[in-house]
Every structure is written in C-alpha cells, then in structure tokens.
Chain A
C-alpha cells in the first residue's frame, strides 16, 4: 500500500526566504506526482504535475522535482511572499486513485 509523507508538517518563515517542502512515498511504481495548494476553507488548487518520466516542472517561482527511484519529490518556492501562506499537499498516482500526503502548513510573515 502506498504511503505518502510530507515533512515538515508546519513551517513559518519571514518573507523573502527560499523554501523547500518535501514529499516522500514508499512505492516508486507511479504514473505521476501532483502538488496542490489549499487555502483555509477552500478546495485544492493544482500547482504542478510531474509525470513519472520527468525530473522537474517549473511554474513561476515554483519548481518541483521528482526522484522516483528514491521515492522523493521536493517543492521549491523562491522568494516567498505572505500570499504563499497555505497548506501544500502532494499526491502520488500509482493507479486511478491517488494517495495524498497530509500536507505542509506554510505561514510566510511580513
């Protein structure tokens, strides 16, 4: 059974810092990995989707990497801003039903 772990569970940083959020998974037989953002009281917003054949994806200040063999993905946020404050979740898809981590709660303070 696939297990997904996100570390740290919570993070508080001053504005302007570069951040790394971690996602690890136990079964490397995956099709893709997706990073989401969830604001309080809202649904999930897709940030980046990395297919199993890819090593990384970039969107603006976000960069996600995937190392399938070691079962790890990282989400790098450059020059963090208060508007980045949210919970970040990763989801691993080894079948039609993805497995989600519990998320990293990020607070960026001015």
Chain B
C-alpha cells in the first residue's frame, strides 16, 4: 500500500516569503507528526496530531510556524516570513495512533531559504 507522501520534495524560497508543506499520511492512520532535521542536527519535534484532539504544538519554534490537519488526513505545515535558519528538511510521520505503534516516515521536504 501507499506510504507517507510529502510535497514538494524540494522548495527554494526567498527570505520573508511564506511556504506551505504538505503531508499525506498512510490511510487510516490517526496520528501525524511533523519534525525538522537541520544539517548535522537530530530530529526536532514540531507538532503532533491525534484524531480529532487538539494538536500538541509544544515543539513549534515560533509563532511563524503553524499546521493544520483537515478531515483527519492531509496536513499542511505553514511557515510565514521565512528566515534563513528555517532551512532544513521537514519530515512527516504517521502511525496507527497507539503508544506501541510503529512510526512511518515520508521522504521529507528540503526547504532552502535564500
């Protein structure tokens, strides 16, 4: 079956512009995560969605970052007024929703802010 997909695979933008990154989780997965991976750094948690519950936004680095998940499926991560330090690979993962379930990752979106 289809895995987690993300689009675009690469995004180059100018400082100050807004960007939207998309994640399509595995069908039926209720949990969805966004992470950021900067060069030479580990995975940084950004936001977590579980079903219809309010998302855990505790990892968002600033109010320029926001995310939504429509219909319990597709998610969009929006970065407003991008800065050069936002350059990173943004990874999305989904799972069936339980604490013991495997996380499945998408291929990521590489964001470059010039």
Contacts and interface: CB of A to CB of B under 8 A. Distances in A.
Interface of A: 31-32, 34, 36, 41-46, 49, 51, 89, 91, 93, 95-98, 100-103
B100 A45 contact: no
Contacts of A44: 91, 93, 103, 105
Given A31-B100, A34-B102, A101-B42, A43 B48 contact: no
Chief secondary structure at chain B's binding surface:
strand
Given A91-B43, A96-B56, 19 more contacts: A32-B99, A32-B100, A34-B103, A36-B105, A42-B108, A43-B6, A43-B91, A43-B107, A44-B91, A44-B93, A44-B105, A46-B103, A46-B104, A46-B105, A49-B102, A89-B42, A91-B103, A101-B42, A103-B42
B70 interface: no
Given A32-B100, A97-B45, A101-B42, A45 B31 contact: no
A110 to B, nearest CB: 27
Contact of A93 (B56, B99, B110): B99
Given A31-B99, A96-B31, A96-B56, A102 B104 contact: no
Nearest to A103: B42
A9 B105 CA distance: 22
B51 to A, nearest CB: 11
15 contacts: A32-B100, A34-B103, A41-B110, A43-B6, A43-B106, A44-B105, A49-B102, A91-B43, A91-B103, A96-B50, A96-B99, A97-B56, A97-B59, A100-B43, A102-B42
Contacts, number: 51
Chain B interface extent, by class: 20 to 34
B62 interface: no
Contacts of B91: 43-44
Contacts of B48: 96-97
Nearest to B104: A46
Interface string B12-42: 0000000000000000000101000000011
